[in-house]
A = this chain, B = another copy of it.
């Protein structure tokens, strides 16, 4: 690997989708599995997920939720109870129909005698099964709000899959809450949307726009769906989390009623909200560069990797001892409220290979320690967020004690820099001033240009619309679809007055974001 080339075989500019696959593979994040539509999340990728889980779970608990665990299998009859929900999910579920295999002439087959009376659906989401528990757990207004969360795997059969972004099985958290009335449920829906926004920006260093999804993009069975949308480096939008106000639809279907203060039986109002391993895809496409992944330190399984430059010479022992003692001092320091995660890479491979492994994996600080560093009490380090100068890899040096003392600040600076760059890109790529469909088509270019290599960077359009519903909305969605566009959301942050509708010229009701999307 020459330092003026790039560490990946393909650059973002050459072919963005191939670049994405290369990062996932070469950063050792995940790999396709022999099971159609499923992936294997490898140690480095799962380490990122564990750090996401831990830090989001803290926030979910701080907002009053308890974790529970509900069954993986949902009886078909439960799914059938909520009509809109059925419509939305019925087409893509894994169904368990038998509970036994048997040997027939030495071949393992499904035992036809072990057919289930009622087929079981592998949960695509758990509103129905958790609603059933809520109907038992909620007796009086005193039991409300009921605030539940679950970390689980879910399955939605997908024909075209992409690692982390769309797989048949994925990992997520799903929050489910029940409230005395609409006001309380709506407030909670938006509170959790804000938790997602803050988490995404603070922990993932991924700026997002929070807003409400249009009617045609709502969760099946929701009155309102809100999302956070992040901008990837190809200009496409990625929906990174959703929060739903479900009204009383699921409460009616599952009979979630409570005795109110007057002794009457009242339907609860419910919400649900979730984020998934998809967020990791967002992190890759927000922060990755042509050398691989760049991980925000808050979610880097190893924040500081120390590579000893060993040469099979007697001084190797001193170098190793120096590295281990440096690590011991670093892990006593804290960053982001927990002990710094530092490690010495002692694998029996060449140190240049180690360097590029950690560059590709996106370790925030990579230290290369040779005999001169060890003898001189010095640390030579690379910042992954600022790896090259005029194409060449650069490093800096600090006295050992100064480096240890500054490590928390260096990690905080890397986290901030990644966020600032992404924020500047997002802010600079939301275009206003497009006033009609022709302008929209001109801005985004023909759908065919969005080919397999990924379209050139376009950004998003922010424009007013009259918020049509029903058939009028379907017509708008169809027009957009022809350009491979969708309405991402109507940002929470709206101006006092909006211009005319982009689609009809009628008076506008709110501003929306239009983009190509994952």
Contact = CB atoms under 8 A, between A and B. Distances in A.
Copies in the complex: 2
A470 to B, nearest CB: 21
Contacts of A153: 72, 152-153
A157 B80 contact: no
A144 to B, nearest CB: 12
Interface string A103-142: 1000110100000000111100000010011001000001
Given A38-B72, A47-B67, A108 B86 contact: yes
Given A67-B46, A108-B90, A101 B121 contact: yes
B75 A96 contact: no
B33 A70 contact: yes
A56 to B, nearest CB: 14
A165 interface: no
Contacts of A348: 142
Contacts of A102: 90-91
Contacts of A133: 31, 33, 40
A79 B43 CA distance: 24
A71 B108 contact: no
B103 A90 contact: yes
A126 B41 CA distance: 14
Contacts of A95: 96-101, 110
Given A95-B97, A142-B349, A46 B75 contact: no
Nearest to A103: B90
B40 A68 contact: yes
Interface in A206-252: none
Contact of A69 (B93, B121, B171): B171
A99 B94 contact: yes
A92 interface: yes
Contacts of A72: 38, 122, 153, 155, 169
B97 A91 contact: no
A66 B90 contact: no
B91 A66 contact: no
A102 B169 CA distance: 21
Given A34-B132, A76-B108, A68 B43 contact: yes
Given A46-B69, A67-B50, A33 B99 contact: no
A73 interface: yes
Contact of A75 (B35, B43, B148, B347): B35
Given A66-B43, A67-B46, A94 B119 contact: no
Contacts of A132: 34
Contacts of A305: none
Interface string A34-57: 110011111100110110000000
Nearest to A122: B96
A76 to B, nearest CB: 6
A322 to B, nearest CB: 23
Contact of A142 (B40, B94, B96, B347): B347
Nearest to A158: B99
A350 B152 CA distance: 36
Given A33-B70, A169-B71, A348-B142, A120 B94 contact: yes
A178 interface: no
A411 interface: no
B66 A46 contact: yes
Point out which of A43, A86, A153 has the most chain B C-beta atoms below 10 A from its C-beta. Answer: A43
Nearest to A35: B71
Contacts of A91: 100-102
A312 to B, nearest CB: 16
A351 B24 CA distance: 55
19 contacts: A35-B75, A38-B73, A40-B71, A46-B69, A71-B169, A72-B155, A72-B169, A76-B108, A76-B110, A79-B101, A80-B108, A86-B103, A91-B101, A93-B100, A94-B96, A94-B99, A97-B98, A97-B110, A142-B349
